[in-house]
Structure 1
Amino acid sequence: MTGRPAPATLPPSLRVWLGLIAALAALAVTVLGVLYAGHSRPGRVDGWIQPAVENVRPPWRNVALATDFWGEPAGAAMLIVAAVAGCLLLRRPRAAVLVVTGVCAAVGTTTLLKSLVGRTIHGDNLSYPSGHTAFATALALMGALLATGRLGLGRTAGTLLVIASALVAGAAMGLAQVALGAHYPTDVLGGWCTALAVIPATAWLIDRTADRLAGRSADAGRRERP
Protein backbone atom coordinates (compact mmCIF):
# COMPACT_ATOMS: atom_id res chain seq x y z
CA MET A 1 0.00 0.00 0.00
CA THR A 2 1.43 3.39 -1.04
CA GLY A 3 0.61 6.77 0.44
CA ARG A 4 -0.76 9.67 -1.50
CA PRO A 5 1.84 11.87 -3.23
CA ALA A 6 2.77 15.05 -1.39
CA PRO A 7 1.03 18.19 -2.70
CA ALA A 8 3.07 20.17 -5.21
CA THR A 9 4.68 23.42 -4.09
CA LEU A 10 3.95 24.94 -7.49
CA PRO A 11 0.28 24.21 -8.27
CA PRO A 12 -0.08 22.80 -11.81
CA SER A 13 -2.68 25.43 -12.68
CA LEU A 14 -0.11 28.21 -12.16
CA ARG A 15 2.95 26.70 -13.82
CA VAL A 16 2.55 28.26 -17.25
CA TRP A 17 1.65 31.77 -16.07
CA LEU A 18 4.24 31.88 -13.29
CA GLY A 19 6.85 30.49 -15.66
CA LEU A 20 6.15 33.39 -18.03
CA ILE A 21 6.20 35.90 -15.17
CA ALA A 22 9.47 34.46 -13.89
CA ALA A 23 11.06 34.80 -17.32
CA LEU A 24 9.94 38.42 -17.67
CA ALA A 25 11.15 39.18 -14.14
CA ALA A 26 14.56 37.68 -14.88
CA LEU A 27 14.76 39.85 -18.00
CA ALA A 28 13.88 42.95 -15.97
CA VAL A 29 16.56 42.15 -13.38
CA THR A 30 19.14 41.76 -16.14
CA VAL A 31 18.18 44.97 -17.95
CA LEU A 32 18.20 47.05 -14.76
CA GLY A 33 21.51 45.50 -13.74
CA VAL A 34 23.09 46.48 -17.06
CA LEU A 35 21.64 50.00 -16.91
CA TYR A 36 22.91 50.74 -13.40
CA ALA A 37 26.13 48.71 -13.35
CA GLY A 38 28.87 50.65 -11.59
CA HIS A 39 26.63 53.63 -10.81
CA SER A 40 26.74 55.44 -7.47
CA ARG A 41 23.97 57.98 -8.08
CA PRO A 42 20.19 57.71 -8.49
CA GLY A 43 18.87 57.25 -12.00
CA ARG A 44 16.15 59.28 -13.64
CA VAL A 45 13.35 57.09 -12.29
CA ASP A 46 14.92 57.19 -8.83
CA GLY A 47 14.99 60.98 -9.03
CA TRP A 48 11.24 61.05 -9.55
CA ILE A 49 10.35 58.78 -6.65
CA GLN A 50 13.08 59.07 -4.03
CA PRO A 51 12.50 62.68 -2.88
CA ALA A 52 8.88 61.92 -2.03
CA VAL A 53 9.72 58.88 0.09
CA GLU A 54 13.19 59.32 1.57
CA ASN A 55 13.91 60.83 5.00
CA VAL A 56 10.41 60.45 6.40
CA ARG A 57 9.79 61.55 9.98
CA PRO A 58 8.06 59.81 12.89
CA PRO A 59 5.71 58.04 13.09
CA TRP A 60 6.31 56.81 9.51
CA ARG A 61 10.02 56.44 10.12
CA ASN A 62 9.22 54.14 13.04
CA VAL A 63 7.01 52.08 10.74
CA ALA A 64 9.84 51.88 8.22
CA LEU A 65 12.31 50.77 10.90
CA ALA A 66 9.89 48.12 12.16
CA THR A 67 9.39 46.81 8.62
CA ASP A 68 13.12 46.80 7.98
CA PHE A 69 13.68 44.69 11.11
CA TRP A 70 11.90 41.73 9.51
CA GLY A 71 14.49 41.74 6.75
CA GLU A 72 17.42 41.80 9.16
CA PRO A 73 19.01 38.48 10.26
CA ALA A 74 17.16 38.24 13.61
CA GLY A 75 13.76 39.16 12.23
CA ALA A 76 14.21 37.08 9.09
CA ALA A 77 15.18 34.03 11.13
CA MET A 78 12.04 34.38 13.24
CA LEU A 79 9.86 34.57 10.12
CA ILE A 80 11.56 31.56 8.53
CA VAL A 81 11.17 29.42 11.64
CA ALA A 82 7.50 30.40 11.94
CA ALA A 83 6.87 29.67 8.25
CA VAL A 84 8.57 26.27 8.36
CA ALA A 85 6.66 25.33 11.53
CA GLY A 86 3.38 26.36 9.90
CA CYS A 87 4.12 24.25 6.80
CA LEU A 88 4.90 21.20 8.92
CA LEU A 89 1.76 21.66 11.02
CA LEU A 90 -0.23 21.77 7.78
CA ARG A 91 1.57 18.60 6.64
CA ARG A 92 3.20 20.32 3.70
CA PRO A 93 6.83 19.11 3.86
CA ARG A 94 7.61 20.30 0.35
CA ALA A 95 6.45 23.79 1.27
CA ALA A 96 8.74 23.72 4.31
CA VAL A 97 11.65 22.80 2.05
CA LEU A 98 10.65 25.60 -0.33
CA VAL A 99 10.71 28.17 2.48
CA VAL A 100 14.31 27.37 3.33
CA THR A 101 15.64 26.84 -0.18
CA GLY A 102 13.57 29.66 -1.65
CA VAL A 103 14.85 32.22 0.85
CA CYS A 104 18.43 31.02 0.36
CA ALA A 105 18.05 31.18 -3.42
CA ALA A 106 16.45 34.64 -3.47
CA VAL A 107 18.82 36.26 -0.97
CA GLY A 108 21.82 34.42 -2.41
CA THR A 109 20.97 35.66 -5.90
CA THR A 110 20.73 39.28 -4.75
CA THR A 111 24.05 38.95 -2.93
CA LEU A 112 25.73 37.59 -6.07
CA LEU A 113 24.15 40.26 -8.28
CA LYS A 114 25.30 43.05 -5.96
CA SER A 115 28.89 42.01 -6.51
CA LEU A 116 28.42 41.61 -10.27
CA VAL A 117 26.51 44.88 -10.84
CA GLY A 118 28.56 46.99 -8.44
CA ARG A 119 25.99 49.74 -7.91
CA THR A 120 26.58 51.62 -4.66
CA ILE A 121 24.75 54.00 -2.34
CA HIS A 122 26.19 56.14 0.45
CA GLY A 123 29.77 55.35 -0.37
CA ASP A 124 30.73 51.73 -0.95
CA ASN A 125 27.46 50.06 0.12
CA LEU A 126 26.37 47.71 -2.67
CA SER A 127 22.70 48.31 -3.39
CA TYR A 128 21.38 46.53 -6.50
CA PRO A 129 19.18 44.55 -6.09
CA SER A 130 17.58 44.94 -2.65
CA GLY A 131 17.96 41.76 -0.61
CA HIS A 132 15.39 42.92 1.96
CA THR A 133 12.78 43.37 -0.77
CA ALA A 134 13.63 40.02 -2.35
CA PHE A 135 13.29 38.30 1.03
CA ALA A 136 9.89 39.81 1.84
CA THR A 137 8.57 39.15 -1.65
CA ALA A 138 9.85 35.58 -1.59
CA LEU A 139 8.08 34.80 1.68
CA ALA A 140 4.84 36.30 0.39
CA LEU A 141 5.08 34.32 -2.85
CA MET A 142 5.64 31.05 -1.00
CA GLY A 143 2.73 31.75 1.32
CA ALA A 144 0.48 32.49 -1.65
CA LEU A 145 1.54 29.29 -3.42
CA LEU A 146 0.72 27.29 -0.29
CA ALA A 147 -2.67 29.00 0.04
CA THR A 148 -3.45 28.39 -3.62
CA GLY A 149 -2.81 24.67 -3.23
CA ARG A 150 -4.67 24.37 0.07
CA LEU A 151 -7.72 26.26 -1.18
CA GLY A 152 -7.73 24.60 -4.60
CA LEU A 153 -7.78 27.92 -6.42
CA GLY A 154 -7.90 27.95 -10.19
CA ARG A 155 -5.47 29.59 -12.56
CA THR A 156 -6.96 33.09 -12.49
CA ALA A 157 -7.65 33.31 -8.76
CA GLY A 158 -4.35 31.67 -7.88
CA THR A 159 -2.33 33.95 -10.14
CA LEU A 160 -4.07 37.04 -8.77
CA LEU A 161 -3.38 35.92 -5.19
CA VAL A 162 0.30 35.30 -5.93
CA ILE A 163 0.81 38.64 -7.69
CA ALA A 164 -1.18 40.61 -5.10
CA SER A 165 0.77 39.04 -2.24
CA ALA A 166 4.07 39.81 -3.95
CA LEU A 167 3.02 43.41 -4.62
CA VAL A 168 1.92 44.08 -1.04
CA ALA A 169 5.01 42.54 0.58
CA GLY A 170 7.41 44.03 -1.95
CA ALA A 171 5.87 47.48 -1.72
CA ALA A 172 5.90 47.49 2.08
CA MET A 173 9.53 46.44 2.39
CA GLY A 174 10.61 48.46 -0.63
CA LEU A 175 9.10 51.69 0.66
CA ALA A 176 10.81 51.10 3.99
CA GLN A 177 14.18 50.65 2.28
CA VAL A 178 13.83 53.83 0.23
CA ALA A 179 12.48 55.80 3.20
CA LEU A 180 15.49 54.80 5.29
CA GLY A 181 17.89 55.66 2.48
CA ALA A 182 19.18 52.10 2.23
CA HIS A 183 18.24 51.60 -1.45
CA TYR A 184 17.22 53.43 -4.58
CA PRO A 185 13.71 52.69 -5.90
CA THR A 186 15.19 50.77 -8.85
CA ASP A 187 17.12 48.60 -6.37
CA VAL A 188 13.79 47.72 -4.80
CA LEU A 189 12.29 46.88 -8.19
CA GLY A 190 15.27 44.66 -8.91
CA GLY A 191 14.84 42.83 -5.60
CA TRP A 192 11.12 42.34 -6.26
CA CYS A 193 11.77 40.94 -9.72
CA THR A 194 14.54 38.68 -8.38
CA ALA A 195 12.07 36.95 -6.07
CA LEU A 196 9.51 36.65 -8.88
CA ALA A 197 12.15 34.96 -11.03
CA VAL A 198 13.68 32.69 -8.39
CA ILE A 199 10.75 31.34 -6.36
CA PRO A 200 8.69 29.71 -9.16
CA ALA A 201 11.85 28.11 -10.54
CA THR A 202 12.86 26.82 -7.10
CA ALA A 203 9.37 25.44 -6.44
CA TRP A 204 9.38 23.65 -9.80
CA LEU A 205 12.79 22.10 -9.09
CA ILE A 206 11.64 20.89 -5.66
CA ASP A 207 8.54 19.26 -7.15
CA ARG A 208 10.52 17.65 -9.95
CA THR A 209 13.16 16.28 -7.59
CA ALA A 210 10.60 15.02 -5.06
CA ASP A 211 8.51 13.34 -7.78
CA ARG A 212 11.58 11.57 -9.16
CA LEU A 213 12.59 10.32 -5.73
CA ALA A 214 9.05 9.16 -5.03
CA GLY A 215 8.97 7.35 -8.36
CA ARG A 216 12.24 5.56 -7.66
CA SER A 217 11.00 4.57 -4.20
CA ALA A 218 7.78 3.17 -5.66
CA ASP A 219 9.71 1.20 -8.30
CA ALA A 220 12.01 -0.24 -5.64
CA GLY A 221 9.00 -1.23 -3.53
CA ARG A 222 7.38 -3.06 -6.43
CA ARG A 223 10.58 -4.97 -7.18
CA GLU A 224 10.86 -6.12 -3.56
CA ARG A 225 7.35 -7.60 -3.55
CA PRO A 226 7.24 -11.43 -3.82
Structure 2
Amino acid sequence: MVEELTRPTRGGCTAGRPTRAVLPPSSRVWLGPVAVLAALVVVVLGVVYAGGSEPGGADAWIAVDGVGPPWRHVALTTDFLGEPVGAAVLVGAAVTGCLLVRWPRAAVLVVVGTGLAVGTTKLLKPLVGRTIHGDANLSYPSGHTAFLTAFALVVALLVTGRLGLGRTAGTSLVLAAALAAGGAMGWAQVVLGAHYPTDVLGGWCTALAVVPTTAWLVDAGRRKHF
Protein backbone atom coordinates (compact mmCIF):
# COMPACT_ATOMS: atom_id res chain seq x y z
CA MET A 1 0.00 0.00 0.00
CA VAL A 2 1.26 3.47 -0.82
CA GLU A 3 1.93 5.60 2.22
CA GLU A 4 0.26 9.00 2.22
CA LEU A 5 0.55 11.95 4.59
CA THR A 6 -2.43 14.18 5.31
CA ARG A 7 -2.51 17.81 6.34
CA PRO A 8 -3.92 18.34 9.88
CA THR A 9 -6.33 21.14 10.67
CA ARG A 10 -6.25 23.23 13.86
CA GLY A 11 -8.80 20.95 15.45
CA GLY A 12 -6.64 17.88 14.88
CA CYS A 13 -8.61 16.51 11.93
CA THR A 14 -7.16 16.03 8.49
CA ALA A 15 -8.07 18.04 5.46
CA GLY A 16 -6.94 18.54 1.92
CA ARG A 17 -5.46 16.14 -0.54
CA PRO A 18 -3.28 13.32 0.89
CA THR A 19 0.43 13.83 0.32
CA ARG A 20 2.39 10.87 -0.99
CA ALA A 21 5.72 9.97 0.65
CA VAL A 22 8.74 10.07 -1.66
CA LEU A 23 10.36 7.10 0.09
CA PRO A 24 7.92 4.21 -0.46
CA PRO A 25 7.37 1.81 2.44
CA SER A 26 8.36 -1.15 0.25
CA SER A 27 11.87 0.27 -0.07
CA ARG A 28 12.31 1.88 3.34
CA VAL A 29 13.38 -1.19 5.31
CA TRP A 30 16.17 -2.44 3.05
CA LEU A 31 17.44 0.91 1.76
CA GLY A 32 18.58 1.95 5.24
CA PRO A 33 21.18 -0.83 5.63
CA VAL A 34 22.19 -0.41 1.98
CA ALA A 35 22.86 3.30 2.55
CA VAL A 36 24.99 2.56 5.61
CA LEU A 37 26.98 -0.14 3.81
CA ALA A 38 27.49 2.12 0.79
CA ALA A 39 28.76 4.94 3.02
CA LEU A 40 31.26 2.53 4.61
CA VAL A 41 32.52 1.47 1.17
CA VAL A 42 33.03 5.11 0.19
CA VAL A 43 35.04 5.77 3.35
CA VAL A 44 37.14 2.60 3.09
CA LEU A 45 38.02 3.16 -0.56
CA GLY A 46 38.80 6.79 0.18
CA VAL A 47 41.23 5.79 2.92
CA VAL A 48 42.87 3.06 0.81
CA TYR A 49 43.44 5.28 -2.23
CA ALA A 50 44.03 8.59 -0.46
CA GLY A 51 46.79 10.61 -2.12
CA GLY A 52 47.36 8.04 -4.84
CA SER A 53 47.88 8.70 -8.52
CA GLU A 54 48.07 5.17 -9.90
CA PRO A 55 45.50 2.40 -10.41
CA GLY A 56 45.23 0.00 -7.50
CA GLY A 57 45.12 -3.76 -7.55
CA ALA A 58 41.34 -3.84 -7.90
CA ASP A 59 41.59 -1.45 -10.84
CA ALA A 60 44.05 -3.73 -12.60
CA TRP A 61 41.67 -6.68 -12.31
CA ILE A 62 38.96 -4.91 -14.27
CA ALA A 63 41.03 -2.58 -16.39
CA VAL A 64 39.36 -1.69 -19.70
CA ASP A 65 41.21 -0.29 -22.69
CA GLY A 66 39.80 2.60 -24.67
CA VAL A 67 37.24 1.83 -27.35
CA GLY A 68 36.85 3.05 -30.89
CA PRO A 69 33.75 3.92 -32.93
CA PRO A 70 30.89 3.31 -32.53
CA TRP A 71 31.30 2.49 -28.83
CA ARG A 72 33.35 5.61 -28.18
CA HIS A 73 30.39 7.68 -29.38
CA VAL A 74 28.15 5.77 -26.98
CA ALA A 75 30.59 6.47 -24.15
CA LEU A 76 30.76 10.17 -25.01
CA THR A 77 26.98 10.43 -25.15
CA THR A 78 26.67 8.73 -21.78
CA ASP A 79 29.36 11.00 -20.36
CA PHE A 80 27.40 14.03 -21.59
CA LEU A 81 24.51 13.06 -19.30
CA GLY A 82 26.78 13.77 -16.34
CA GLU A 83 27.97 17.13 -17.68
CA PRO A 84 26.19 20.31 -16.47
CA VAL A 85 24.05 20.71 -19.59
CA GLY A 86 23.09 17.05 -19.88
CA ALA A 87 22.37 16.79 -16.15
CA ALA A 88 20.25 19.94 -16.26
CA VAL A 89 18.17 18.49 -19.10
CA LEU A 90 17.52 15.25 -17.18
CA VAL A 91 16.70 17.01 -13.91
CA GLY A 92 14.55 19.60 -15.66
CA ALA A 93 12.53 16.92 -17.43
CA ALA A 94 12.01 14.97 -14.20
CA VAL A 95 11.01 18.07 -12.24
CA THR A 96 8.55 19.05 -14.96
CA GLY A 97 6.99 15.58 -14.84
CA CYS A 98 6.65 15.77 -11.04
CA LEU A 99 4.96 19.16 -11.21
CA LEU A 100 2.60 18.00 -13.96
CA VAL A 101 1.32 15.23 -11.69
CA ARG A 102 1.14 17.70 -8.79
CA TRP A 103 3.81 16.07 -6.66
CA PRO A 104 6.06 18.97 -5.60
CA ARG A 105 7.92 17.00 -2.94
CA ALA A 106 9.03 14.58 -5.63
CA ALA A 107 10.44 17.53 -7.57
CA VAL A 108 12.33 18.57 -4.44
CA LEU A 109 13.82 15.09 -4.13
CA VAL A 110 14.93 15.11 -7.77
CA VAL A 111 16.83 18.37 -7.31
CA VAL A 112 18.14 17.87 -3.79
CA GLY A 113 18.93 14.16 -4.12
CA THR A 114 21.02 14.52 -7.27
CA GLY A 115 22.53 17.79 -6.09
CA LEU A 116 23.68 16.37 -2.76
CA ALA A 117 25.12 13.27 -4.42
CA VAL A 118 27.26 15.38 -6.75
CA GLY A 119 28.07 17.86 -3.99
CA THR A 120 29.30 15.05 -1.75
CA THR A 121 31.74 13.87 -4.43
CA LYS A 122 33.04 17.42 -4.80
CA LEU A 123 33.64 17.62 -1.06
CA LEU A 124 35.34 14.22 -0.92
CA LYS A 125 37.70 14.70 -3.86
CA PRO A 126 40.08 17.19 -2.20
CA LEU A 127 39.88 15.26 1.08
CA VAL A 128 40.92 12.00 -0.56
CA GLY A 129 43.35 13.63 -2.97
CA ARG A 130 43.48 10.81 -5.50
CA THR A 131 44.45 11.98 -8.98
CA ILE A 132 44.50 10.70 -12.55
CA HIS A 133 46.46 12.12 -15.50
CA GLY A 134 48.17 14.74 -13.40
CA ASP A 135 47.90 16.36 -9.99
CA ALA A 136 45.10 18.71 -11.06
CA ASN A 137 42.67 15.92 -11.95
CA LEU A 138 41.05 14.74 -8.73
CA SER A 139 39.31 11.46 -9.43
CA TYR A 140 37.76 9.87 -6.33
CA PRO A 141 34.81 9.49 -6.21
CA SER A 142 33.34 9.86 -9.69
CA GLY A 143 30.83 12.70 -9.79
CA HIS A 144 29.42 11.64 -13.15
CA THR A 145 28.66 8.15 -11.83
CA ALA A 146 27.18 9.55 -8.63
CA PHE A 147 24.87 11.84 -10.57
CA LEU A 148 23.42 9.34 -13.02
CA THR A 149 23.04 6.69 -10.31
CA ALA A 150 21.33 9.19 -8.01
CA PHE A 151 19.02 10.33 -10.78
CA ALA A 152 18.03 6.77 -11.66
CA LEU A 153 17.50 5.93 -7.97
CA VAL A 154 15.25 8.94 -7.44
CA VAL A 155 13.16 8.18 -10.52
CA ALA A 156 12.87 4.49 -9.57
CA LEU A 157 11.80 5.35 -6.01
CA LEU A 158 9.18 7.78 -7.27
CA VAL A 159 7.82 5.29 -9.80
CA THR A 160 7.71 2.61 -7.09
CA GLY A 161 5.74 4.91 -4.80
CA ARG A 162 3.48 6.24 -7.51
CA LEU A 163 2.49 2.77 -8.73
CA GLY A 164 2.31 1.32 -5.23
CA LEU A 165 4.68 -1.53 -6.09
CA GLY A 166 5.25 -4.19 -3.46
CA ARG A 167 8.57 -5.03 -1.86
CA THR A 168 9.73 -7.52 -4.48
CA ALA A 169 8.78 -5.48 -7.53
CA GLY A 170 9.87 -2.20 -5.95
CA THR A 171 13.22 -3.58 -4.82
CA SER A 172 13.87 -5.10 -8.24
CA LEU A 173 13.09 -1.83 -10.00
CA VAL A 174 15.25 0.31 -7.71
CA LEU A 175 18.22 -2.05 -7.82
CA ALA A 176 17.98 -2.53 -11.58
CA ALA A 177 17.86 1.24 -12.13
CA ALA A 178 20.87 1.84 -9.89
CA LEU A 179 22.90 -0.94 -11.49
CA ALA A 180 22.02 0.04 -15.05
CA ALA A 181 22.72 3.75 -14.61
CA GLY A 182 25.85 3.27 -12.52
CA GLY A 183 27.16 0.54 -14.81
CA ALA A 184 26.60 2.58 -17.97
CA MET A 185 28.21 5.76 -16.65
CA GLY A 186 30.98 3.83 -14.91
CA TRP A 187 31.86 2.02 -18.12
CA ALA A 188 31.92 5.32 -20.01
CA GLN A 189 34.20 6.97 -17.45
CA VAL A 190 36.66 4.09 -17.46
CA VAL A 191 36.90 3.61 -21.24
CA LEU A 192 37.28 7.37 -21.73
CA GLY A 193 40.13 7.38 -19.22
CA ALA A 194 38.41 9.85 -16.91
CA HIS A 195 38.34 7.59 -13.84
CA TYR A 196 39.72 4.40 -12.35
CA PRO A 197 37.18 1.61 -11.77
CA THR A 198 37.37 2.16 -8.01
CA ASP A 199 36.53 5.84 -8.53
CA VAL A 200 33.38 4.68 -10.30
CA LEU A 201 32.51 2.31 -7.45
CA GLY A 202 32.97 5.16 -5.00
CA GLY A 203 30.65 7.38 -7.00
CA TRP A 204 28.03 4.65 -7.24
CA CYS A 205 28.12 4.02 -3.51
CA THR A 206 27.95 7.75 -2.81
CA ALA A 207 24.60 7.89 -4.59
CA LEU A 208 23.37 4.79 -2.75
CA ALA A 209 24.26 6.46 0.56
CA VAL A 210 22.92 9.94 -0.19
CA VAL A 211 19.62 9.39 -2.02
CA PRO A 212 17.79 7.21 0.56
CA THR A 213 18.91 9.55 3.34
CA THR A 214 17.72 12.58 1.39
CA ALA A 215 14.36 10.96 0.64
CA TRP A 216 13.86 10.16 4.32
CA LEU A 217 14.71 13.75 5.29
CA VAL A 218 12.31 15.16 2.70
CA ASP A 219 9.49 13.06 4.15
CA ALA A 220 10.47 13.87 7.72
CA GLY A 221 10.63 17.58 6.98
CA ARG A 222 7.17 17.49 5.45
CA ARG A 223 5.71 15.81 8.51
CA LYS A 224 7.23 18.45 10.79
CA HIS A 225 5.97 21.19 8.53
CA PHE A 226 2.47 19.82 8.82
Q: Normalising to structure 1: TM-score of the pair?
A: 0.92
Q: Distance in 1 between matches of 2:30 and 2:176?
A: 14
Find the counterpart in structure 1 of residue 112 from structure 2: 101
Find the counterpart in structure 1 of residue 190 from structure 2: 178
What are the Cα deviations for residues 19-47 of structure 1, in whole angstroms up to 9, with x where unaligned?
A: 01000100111111111001100001111
User: How far is the alpha carbon of 1:122 from its aligned partner?
Assistant: 0.2
Q: Distance in 1 between matches of 2:76 and 2:217?
A: 35
2:157 to 125, 128, 145: 145
Opposite residue 212 of structure 1, the aligned amino acid is K
Find the counterpart in structure 2 of residue 218 from structure 1: none
Q: Distance in 2 between matches of 1:196 and 1:10?
A: 14
Find the counterpart in structure 1 of residue 6 from structure 2: none
User: How far is the alpha carbon of 1:93 from its aligned partner?
Assistant: 1.0
Opposite residue 164 of structure 2, the aligned amino acid is G
How does 1:51-90 map onto structure 2 within 5 Å?
Answer: 53-90=64-101
Q: Distance in 1 between matches of 2:75 and 2:35?
A: 28
User: How far is the alpha carbon of 1:13 from its aligned partner?
Assistant: 2.3
Opposite residue 15 of structure 1, the aligned amino acid is R
- How large is the Cα RMSD of the aligned pairs? 0.9
Find the counterpart in structure 2 of residue 158 from structure 1: 170
Number of residue-to-residue matches in the alignment: 212
What are the Cα deviations for residues 87-110 of structure 1, in whole angstroms up to 9, with x where unaligned?
A: 111222111000111111100000
Q: Distance in 2 between matches of 1:45 and 1:28?
A: 14
User: How far is the alpha carbon of 1:151 from its aligned partner?
Assistant: 1.1
Q: If each structure's helix is expressed as a fraction of its own residues, which one has the higher value?
A: 1
Q: Secondary structure in 2 aligned to 1:2?
A: strand
Find the counterpart in structure 1 of residue 32 from structure 2: 19
Q: Secondary structure in 2 aligned to 1:26?
A: helix
Q: Distance in 1 between matches of 2:17 and 2:223?
A: 12
What are the Cα deviations for residues 193-221 of structure 1, in whole angstroms up to 9, with x where unaligned?
A: 0000000000000000011112xxxxxxx
1:119 is the counterpart of 2:152: no
Q: Secondary structure in 1 aligned to 2:19?
A: coil
Find the counterpart in structure 1 of residue 43 from structure 2: 30
Opposite residue 30 of structure 1, the aligned amino acid is V
Q: Distance in 2 between matches of 1:121 and 1:158?
A: 38
Unpaired runs of 5+ in structure 1? 215-226
Find the counterpart in structure 2 of residue 223 from structure 1: none
